[in-house]
Structures are given as C-alpha cells and as structure tokens.
Amino acid sequence: MRTISVKGMSCPHCVKSVTQALEKIEGVSQVKVDLATGKASFEEAKPVPAEVLKQAITKIGFEVEV
Ligand SMILES: [Cu+2]
C-alpha cells in the first residue's frame, strides 16, 4: 500500500477524477481517495515512479506530494 497527498480536491467529483487518473496507471489497483484528508492510497504491482504519479495528477489540475 502506498499513500500520496493530493491538494486541491473540494468535492466528490474531484475525488472521482483523481481516482480514475490513478487507476489508469499501469499496475495500480484498489485506489482509495479521501476527500477530508487529501490522501490517496493504492496498491501497486511494481513501484510506480514518482514522476508518473505527479504527471497523472497534475495533468487533471491537482497538486500532489509523492
Ligand atoms: Cu470537485
């Protein structure tokens, strides 16, 4: 299980966008995004490079701390 911090989420729609962006990354599964804490957690089949996570999240308009 890996957890990252996502900044800028304000509603369930944001949560869904972030969830879907993470699910699109190869090897990522069981994505859970918590609006209140801004934490996104997921399982990864193999370690996903920080840069890949950053790109996926910033592309849809949020900030991320990996
Ligand atoms: Cu939103």
**Which CATH number belongs to the domain containing residue 27 in this structure?**
3.30.70.100
Domain count, the chain: 1
Neighbours of ion ligand 1 (CB under 5 A): 10-11, 13-14
Structure confidence by residue, pLDDT tens digits, 3-38: 999 999 999 999 999 999 999 999 999 999 999 999
Phi, psi (5° rounding) for residue 48?
Answer: -85, 130
Q: State the distance from the centre of ligand 1 to the C-alpha of 52, rounded, in angstroms.
A: 22
Strand order in the sheet with 28-34: 28-34, 39-44, 2-7, 63-65
Residue pair 21/60 in contact by the 8 Å Cβ criterion: yes
Q: State the distance from the centre of ligand 1 to the C-alpha of 36, rounded, in angstroms.
A: 12
Q: State the distance from the centre of ligand 1 to the C-alpha of 49, rounded, in angstroms.
A: 26
The pLDDT score that the predictor gives to residue 28 is: 98
The pLDDT score that the predictor gives to residue 39 is: 98
How many C-beta atoms surround the C-beta of residue 45 within 10 A?
A: 9
Residue 16: domain span:
2-65
